Structures are given as structure tokens and as C-alpha cells.
Amino acid sequence: MRNMENAQPARIGDAAGTLPRKSRLLVTGGAGFIGANFVHHWLEMHPGDRVVVLDALTYAGNLANLEPVKGHPDLKFVQGNICDTPKVERLLREEGIDTIVHFAAESHVDRSIHGPDAFIETNVHGTHSMLKAARKVWLEEKTVPRHRFHHVSTDEVYGSLGPKDPAFHERTAYAPNSPYSASKAASDHLVRAYHHTYGLQVTTSNCSNNYGPFHFPEKLIPLMIVNLLHGRALPIYGDGRNVRDWLHVSDHCRGIDLILRNGRPGEVYNIGGGVESENLELVETLCAVADDAFAALQDLCSRFSGCPAARGDKSSSLIQFVKDRPGHDRRYAIDCGKAERELGYRAQVSLAQGLRNTFDWYVQNEWWWRAVMDGSYQRWVETHYR
Ligand code: NAD
Ligand code: TYD
């Protein structure tokens, strides 16, 4: 999606946007959901910039997410672990990187409850490894005239809100409740410390729940779409009244772009979609989207004959309340006032439109989700939803 603020891209860290210099980005986790969407966005909006993706290709990383930009002359993919500091240092030097956009993380709360170790390793040690490498190459060896380390974090570091509490803002005290959010909180503190102690030029964004294309079907929205198409149960944790603030991934990518171009080093920006929804309400909306789509397209009924909508029944009949997630945060809501005032950020995709587009994307890209639902995915579903 194009918008006016991106029509004449300024160079990173160059407020006036007058230098002809091209940027050279290292995108960690660029084969994951948000990272891949960001790579697509950047290559389209900033022609001529170099984009190097560093990704370990864990269960959540998938080269198919980069299929739309495969063979792009400005893109390079490197398989590797962010904990491998010498490898990161080499990449920064050899590629003349001046900008790191750090997405790589273990990102699923439920998995962090089952096995927190990987979250501490990647999210805490991995982020520290990235910071150490950046400090060595950029601050000590001075390989580039200006640099930026952008850290992608989550609103979950702020904890859980009551129904009437004001939304999270950048000065809300940290109160992480899950091993995932605690590991992200630790990484945020390290990023902040590297700015204050060593002068590394950092920015951090804390964003709400993303959704959109290439979203791995272990998270709520893609899981519900894929289950619904198969006619499988739609598992709702607890009473389904937990509230999330939904952000279309394209809005998130534009938000990060604005921070990279116009954000002030050392600052934190909250990015959200401005739409709160209870989980049950959200899933019911998705079911209604599916019912409409099946009613309009005969082809869907033959392709996904297991879905109740293929027989003219309501997809919402698949909803099933299941045991709640331990420590399940009740409500997240994001106040994006700072990003709006300082950067001109505003979410552009409404939840209704975003859910329709996302449903359509999953219907049109069956090859993608069938490919990612391999043996390890099946094992996760079996253990988690047993
Ligand atoms: P994801 O799980 O889809 O992708 C993570 C990517 O990181 C994968 O490609 C994986 O292979 C890679 N990775 C994992 N460990 C690695 C390692 N040690 N070295 C190199 N690569 C590694 O995650 P996502 O949903 O795209 O999230 C991206 C970032 O955004 C994360 O930092 C997450 O905490 C943050 N975030 C996500 C959401 C959301 O709703 N998805 C919301 C707020 C913040
Ligand atoms: P999720 O997509 O895992 O994101 P997060 O935990 O980071 O917010 O979950 C979003 C919400 O949906 C959360 O309140 C948990 C709930 N949920 C279910 O009710 N059922 C499910 O099967 C999943 C995966 C999530």
C-alpha cells in the first residue's frame, strides 16, 4: 500500500533527506512474519537500498515468505544465528551495513510457557549479541559515518490492563507477565543501556498484535482461518473476553519506516492499530467474513468442503471454549499519540478491511500455509490443543 509520506523517501538518519547516500540494511528475522513483510515493503519503497536478511530459519522462519522478492538484485539472504556475534560483525563490515532492523525473536507466548529457554537465548542473548557487534563495528571500528539500530518489541512488556485503564504509552512502567514478554522486556532494557552507556544510535518500537499475510498459523487469526477452512474446532481460551489491539502488518511496516527516517535516536515509539477487540468478537467477525465469501464463491465450497459454510451452515458453529492460557493477559491497548505527533503515523487499514484481506490472502495462498504446516507444526498442535 502506497502513501504520501513515503512518496519521496528520505535517507535514514538524514532528517533533511538531501544526501544521495543509499542505505544498507541488515534485517534480522527477515524470513519471519513481520520481518518478511518489512523486506517486501522496504524494497518497494526504497529502490536502490541494499537489504541483507539474517535469519536462522527456525520453525517460524521460511524462505517462502520471501518468494515475492526472490531474485531481487538488492536483496541478499544469509542463514545464521543472531547469537553468533563474529558472524554478525563480519556481515556488518563486509556489507557496509549502516542500519539494523532487529526482528529476530522467539515470538509465541504459548511456546514460551512450554519452553522458556529458547526465549532467553534468542531474545536476550541474541539481542545482546547484535548490540555487541554493532558497538564493535560501528563505534570502535567506525565503518560507517552514521548508523541506526532499530529494535522491534512488543506492547506485552507493559503487562495487562484493566477494562478502564488508559492505553499503554511510552512511559508506562514495564510489568511483563509471560516468559516471552519478560525476555522482550530484558532486550528492550539492553538496547536502552547501549544508547545511554556507549552512545549507540538506537530506536525501539513497541507494537500491538500484528496480523496479515505470511502469519504463521499458530497465532490466533491465521490459526482460526486455517482451522475454519478445514472445518476444525476454533479454540477460544477461557471466556474469550481478552482484548487485543490489532495492527495490520502493513501499518506496522510503515510505522517502522517512519521511525527509521524521522525518529529520534534514544527514543521509544508505540505503534498500534487503534482497534480493540475481544477475542470472541474477533473470531465471530472472521466467521462472518468466511460465510460471506463462501456464499459468493462456489469455487470455495468445492475447495474447502469441510467448512460448515460450504454447506450453508454458520462457521461460528466451530467455536469451542478451551482451557485458558496460564497467566493470560486480559487487555492490551496502545496509545500511539507520540508516533502520530512526531512522525505523522496513523494506521490506515481498518480491522474489518484487514480481516477480509487476510482471509482472502489465506484462501489464495493455500500453497503457503500447507507448506509451513509440516511435521513439527502438527506435533505442536497435537501437544498444545490435546
Ligand atoms: P516470527 O516468529 O514470525 O519470526 C521470527 C523470525 O526470527 C523467524 O524468521 C525466525 O527464523 C527468526 N529467528 C528466530 N530465532 C533466531 C535466531 N536465533 N537467529 C536468527 N533468526 C532467528 O515473529 P514475528 O511475529 O515476525 O515477530 C517479529 C518481531 O516482532 C519479534 O521481535 C516479536 O517479538 C515482535 N512483535 C511481534 C508481534 C506480533 O503480533 N507478531 C507483536 C509485537 C511485537
Ligand atoms: P496470540 O495470537 O497468541 O497473540 P498474543 O498472545 O501475543 O496476544 O493470541 C491472541 C489472543 O488470542 C490471546 O488473548 C490468546 C488468544 N488465543 C486463543 O483464544 N486461542 C488460540 O488458539 C490462540 C493461539 C490464541
For ligand 2, whether the C-beta of 254 sits within 6 Å is no
User: What is the pLDDT averaged over residues 206-221?
Assistant: 98
For ligand 2, whether the C-beta of 263 sits within 6 Å is no
> pLDDT by residue (tens digit) across 27-51?
999 999 999 999 999 999 999 999 9
Pocket test for ligand 1, best of 107, 111, 168, 380 (most atoms within 8 A of CB): 107
C-alpha dist (Å) from residue 34 to 94, 98, 346? 26, 21, 18
> pLDDT by residue (tens digit) across 98-156?
999 999 999 999 999 999 999 999 999 999 999 999 999 999 999 999 999 999 999 99
Distance 32 CA to ligand 1 centre (A): 6
User: What pLDDT, on a 0 to 100 scale, did the predictor assign at position 32?
Assistant: 98
Specify if 160 maps to a domain. yes
Pocket test for ligand 2, best of 161, 211, 220, 328 (most atoms within 8 A of CB): 220
pLDDT higher than 70, residue 10: no
Give me the chain's average pLDDT, please.
94
Specify if 182 maps to a domain. yes
Atom of ligand 2 nearest to the CA of 332: 8
CATH number, domain containing residue 76: 3.40.50.720
Q: From 210, 142, 164, 166, select the one nearest 351 (Cα to Cα).
A: 210
Specify if 324 maps to a domain. no
Specify if 299 maps to a domain. no
For ligand 1, whether the C-beta of 69 sits within 6 Å is no
Specify if 312 maps to a domain. no
User: What pLDDT, on a 0 to 100 scale, did the predictor assign at position 170?
Assistant: 98
Question: Rounded to an integer, what distance in angstroms lies between the CA atom of residue 3 and that of residue 350?
Answer: 15
**Nearest residue (CA) to ligand 2, atom 8:** 209
Distance 325 CA to ligand 2 centre (A): 9
Q: What is the pTM of this model?
A: 0.95
Distance 220 CA to ligand 2 centre (A): 5
Phi, psi of 234 (to 5 degrees): -105, 100
Ligand closest to Cα of 153 equals 1
Chain center to CA of 338: 20
Specify if 295 maps to a domain. no
Domain with 86 in it: 24-212+249-274+331-350
State the catalytic residues.
Answer: 155-156, 180
Specify if 234 maps to a domain. no
Ligand closest to Cα of 155 equals 1
Q: From 311, 316, 254, select the one nearest 282 (Cα to Cα).
A: 316
Ligand closest to Cα of 281 equals 2
Specify if 344 maps to a domain. yes
User: What is the pLDDT averaged over residues 355-372?
Assistant: 96
User: What pLDDT, on a 0 to 100 scale, did the predictor assign at position 60?
Assistant: 96
**Nearest residue (CA) to ligand 2, atom 14:** 242
Residues contacting 353, CB < 8 A, separation 6+: none
Is 54 within 8 Å of 80 (Cβ atoms)?
A: yes
- Number of domains the chain is built from: 1
Cell of 315: 462457521
> pLDDT by residue (tens digit) across 267-324?
999 999 999 999 999 999 999 999 999 999 989 999 999 999 999 999 999 999 999 9
pLDDT higher than 50, residue 380: yes
User: What pLDDT, on a 0 to 100 scale, did the predictor assign at position 8?
Assistant: 36
- Angle formed by the axes of helices 220-230 and 279-296, nearest 10°: 40
pLDDT higher than 70, residue 1: no
C-alpha dist (Å) from residue 322 to 149, 240, 243? 41, 9, 17
Helix, strand, or coil (residue 71): coil
Distance 320 CA to ligand 2 centre (A): 14
